[in-house]
Amino acid sequence: MELKRVVVTGLGALTPIGNTVSEYWSGLTNGVSGAAPITYFDTTNFKTKFGCEVKNFNIEDFIDRKEARKMDRFTQYAMVVADEAIIDSKLDIDALDKDRVGVIWGAGIGGIETFQNEMIDYVKGNFTPRFNPFFIPKLIADIAPGYISIKYGFRGLNFTTVSACASSSNAIIDALNYIRLGYADVIVTGGSEAAITQAGMGGFNALHALSTRNDDPSTASRPFDKNRDGFVMGEGAGALILEDYDHAVKRGATIYAEVIGGGLSADAYHITAPHPEGLGAKNVMANCLRDAKISPSEVDAINMHGTSTPLGDVAESKAVKEIFGEHAYNININSTKSMTGHLLGAAGAVEAIASLLSIKYGIVPPTINFSTPDENIDPKLNFTFNKAQQRDVKVAMSNTFGFGGHNACILFKKIDS
């Protein structure tokens, strides 16, 4: 069968460097760091005392207080960005066939703060079982797309993908494929995460995964720099409206770009460490190029997974050289995590938005905080260090890799005029 073309017609973002898409893009292009001391809880006894929190955000500006209290922060974030994306898309909600509009969301953890706080209250109450009646609905990762569908009456396919840090990229790829196959006209997709909590920070500290650069948080996320010492926890959400190309054209929609391919793979190596030779990363990029039916030489920019971990950055850089050969030196490579931190399950969506805006505006955001080359990473690769670069980006790739060896890769292409 002939697959339908799929395009992006709306975007929404809530990030540590901007609470709307336009603010986020300004933060990216100006090289703003979202890292600062944590304000949500007392970090005195924690190894890492900073993160990339969402700032100047009040959920009651968007959702009634009574309703907001029924949601974990990751769901609140999802509702805000879904609204922004739907408004941006200029979809006429009443005119849609709502049986053919779906919501596919990504969350790596879900309501970790809700779970943590209920357990704290349980222990403080001398193990008396007095749980919040919304404990389970607030906790479960699939509740975010449920709330979005209820608000708008979208009765199409509806679920959450969970693949750690690849979760929202998986969601976007699923949305791509369901529209390609004709199961939906429009899908609200993306991801959200809110893991800057005692449990989240403590757990990742126990894994020795987080930077401990407490004396200078703003420079702690430093992908590809020799002195990187772990990732910086971020939070927030990103939403994309994916739409059947013919459906979008018929209603006169503004199109950001076409989604031309998605790739998936597994490292099958270790629960937290990447394959040392980047095997899973190589496979996922090759699978994505094959799915998109384009050659490696057509790719202009890659938003790397680039978490600022000692092992991950080296493995991914090796994989890029293996897949793209000599053309690797012609590609603008960057890691927006240097600014936003690592949004875990929301990373794929927020970084996909950065790739889409690179196509729209012809600018590749920088990888900030670079100062010292790593002898294990080819210095001839263009990592777009420290300053945004202008470039006519026709094809952009976005990589996300998760604990458990889950890898996802997406390709976007400037729409044919």
CA distance 216 to 369: 11
Do the Cβ atoms of 346 and 193 come closer than 8 Å? Answer: yes
How many CA atoms lie less than 13 Å away from 307 in the CB half-sphere?
30
- Catalytic site includes residue 305: yes
Say how far apart CA 263 and CA 293 lie, in whole Å: 12
Burial environment of residue 326 by CB neighbours within 10 A (0 to 12, 13 to 18, 19 or more):
exposed
Going by their DSSP bridges, the two strands 158-161 and 101-106 should be labelled as parallel
- Among residues 52, 342, 406, 409, which one is catalytic? 342
Quickly list DSSP for 350-404. HHHHHHHHHHHHTEEPPB-S--SB-TTS-TTSB--BSS-EE---SEEEEEEEETT
d(CA 216, CA 232) in angstroms, rounded, equals: 12
The active-site residue out of 247, 275, 288, 305 is: 305
* Beta-strand pair 257-266/236-244: unpaired
For residue 187, with 0-12 CB atoms within 10 Å meaning exposed, 13-18 middle and 19 or more buried, which class applies?
A: buried
Q: What angle do CA 189, 191, 195 make, to 5 degrees?
A: 170
Label residue 381 left, alpha or beta by phi (over 0 means left) and psi (-120 to 50 means alpha).
beta
Asked about 327 being catalytic, the answer comes back as no
- Verify whether residue 275 is a known catalytic residue: no
Q: Which of 165, 247, 275, 406 is catalytic?
A: 165
CA distance 90 to 243: 12
Inter-CA distances, 210 with 50, 113, 281, 399, Å:
10, 19, 22, 20
- Residues involved in catalysis: 165, 305, 342
